[in-house]
Each structure stands twice: as C-alpha cells, then as structure tokens.
C-alpha cells in the first residue's frame, strides 16, 4: 500500500523544505488529492500545505484510505495499514523535525486522528471535518489523555453519512484525550461551508500562536 500522488502549496521549495507546521490534507472516501486543496485560501497566510492521495483506487477515479464498511465500525487492520503508508510517505518527504497539522474530511478525518494517535510528538494540532475516531486502542492514547493536544472537530448537524454510534464514540473519546474545540453546524450535511472554514482558520491561528509562544518560552 503506497501513496503515489500529492499536490502542495505553490511556493513550496524542495531546496528549503518547511520546518513546520505543515498542514497535511487528507481527503474523504472516493475523492482525490485535489479536493481539499481548495481549502488552502482559508489557511493562515504563508502556512505550507500538502494534500495526499489515498492509496486504494476506486471506480470513477476516486480513492480511499481503507475499504468502506458503513454502518459497521471499520476493522483495525486496514486502518493500521493506511496509517503506516501515511507515515512512510511523511518520513520520506518531510523532515523528521517538521511539525504537522493533519486536516481531514470524513474518512480523512479518521486518518488525521490516526496520525495524532500514533505519533503525537509530531503533531502541532489536528483538524477533523465530518469525521470520527476508530474505537481500536492505540498505544499513545494514555499519553494523549495527559498532554491534551489541540483538536478541532466540526460536523454538520444534519450529516446523514457518519453513523450516530461513531459520533457518540468520538464525542466521548476526544474530550478525554485532547483540548477539544467542537462545533456542530445547524442545517449542514456531510460537507463544509464558510462557517466551518472560518472556525478552522481561527483555530489554526490560535494553535500556531500558542505553539510559537511555547517555543519562545
């Protein structure tokens, strides 16, 4: 399982790779690396980003991180394989000291949380859009409950896609394992709109400012 395609911020310089934080955009089921790149104008000015294509091809030119099993809980093995593929790509293409901000939609939101739950020391903040967390335990979960990293979780109040059990589990997990900013948007389905993006921008501005202040001290 390999990640073979990506797109990135236009001012990216391979000779001078960013030291971070870098936003890692992770698309949803059946989409592609060009999808979330459209959110780039809502990122803080000058923040580098990279959008990765999931490794599993689907009919219609889309891709997936792992096979869809809704309404059942996705099995842990395919998720672990996708997580390993993500880290292999990151280890190869980004510096070991580069701080990351995973930002994922739907299935990509689960993958964003997987990056946080497997190597929390690499993650500056996490953004989950219409996504959820798998119920398979991860070894660093206990550390997350102590460190409480910053997580934004935004979802539509009228989302018909994510099962209610997955939402309930995520609503129980994230407050115990993160400093959570949670937003539920009235009338919004399985999508993002300007309300979501405005809140994401505010969250990232606050998260990067806090990180800078912590490093300065």
pLDDT in tens, 28-63: 999 999 999 999 999 998 899 999 999 999 988 899
What's the pLDDT score for residue 32? 95
pLDDT range class, residue 71, cuts 50, 70, 90: low
What pTM value is reported for the model? 0.94
With beta carbons less than 8 A apart as the criterion, state whether 78 and 67 touch.
yes
* Chain segment 95-143, per-residue pLDDT in tens: 788 899 999 999 999 999 999 999 999 999 999 999 999 999 999 999 9
What's the pLDDT score for residue 161? 93
* Chain segment 72-100, per-residue pLDDT in tens: 678 899 999 999 999 999 999 887 888 99
CATH 3.40.50.1820 fits 6-216, yes or no: yes
pLDDT range class, residue 217, cuts 50, 70, 90: very low
What's the pLDDT score for residue 180? 98
- Token readout for 195 is 């309300």
Place of tokens 């939101």: 109
Burial pattern 80-104, b for ≥16 Cβ within 10 A else e, equals: bebbebbeebbeeebeeebbbbbbb
How far is residue 12 CA from its own chain's centroid?
20
Closest Cα to residue 185, out of 133, 134, 127, 129? 129
pLDDT range class, residue 211, cuts 50, 70, 90: low
CA distances from 79 to 55, 56, 192 (A): 12, 12, 24
The length of the chain, given as a count of residues: 217
Average pLDDT over residues 163-171: 94
């Amino acid at each position: 399982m390999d990640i073979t395609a990506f797109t990135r911020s236009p001012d990216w310089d391979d000779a001078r790779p960013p030291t971070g934080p870098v936003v890692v955009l992770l698309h949803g089921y059946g989409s592609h690396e060009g999808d979330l790149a459209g959110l780039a104008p809502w990122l803080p000015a000058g923040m580098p980003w990279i959008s990765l294509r999931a490794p599993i091809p689907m009919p219609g030119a889309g891709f997936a991180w792992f096979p869809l099993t809704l309404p059942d809980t996705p099995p842990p093995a395919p998720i672990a394989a996708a997580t390993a593929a993500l880290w292999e790509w990151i280890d190869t293409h980004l510096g070991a000291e580069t701080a990351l901000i995973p930002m994922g939609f739907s299935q990509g939101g689960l993958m964003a949380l997987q990056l946080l739950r497997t190597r929390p020391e690499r993650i500056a903040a996490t953004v989950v859009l219409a996504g959820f967390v798998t119920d398979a335990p991860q070894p660093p979960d206990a550390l997350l409950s102590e460190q409480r990293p910053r997580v934004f979780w935004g979802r539509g109040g009228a989302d018909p896609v994510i099962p209610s059990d997955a939402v309930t589990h995520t609503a129980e997990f994230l407050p115990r394992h993160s400093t959570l900013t949670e937003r539920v948007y009235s009338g919004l389905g399985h999508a993002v709109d300007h309300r979501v993006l405005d809140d994401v921008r505010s969250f990232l501005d606050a998260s990067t400012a806090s990180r800078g202040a912590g490093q300065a001290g």
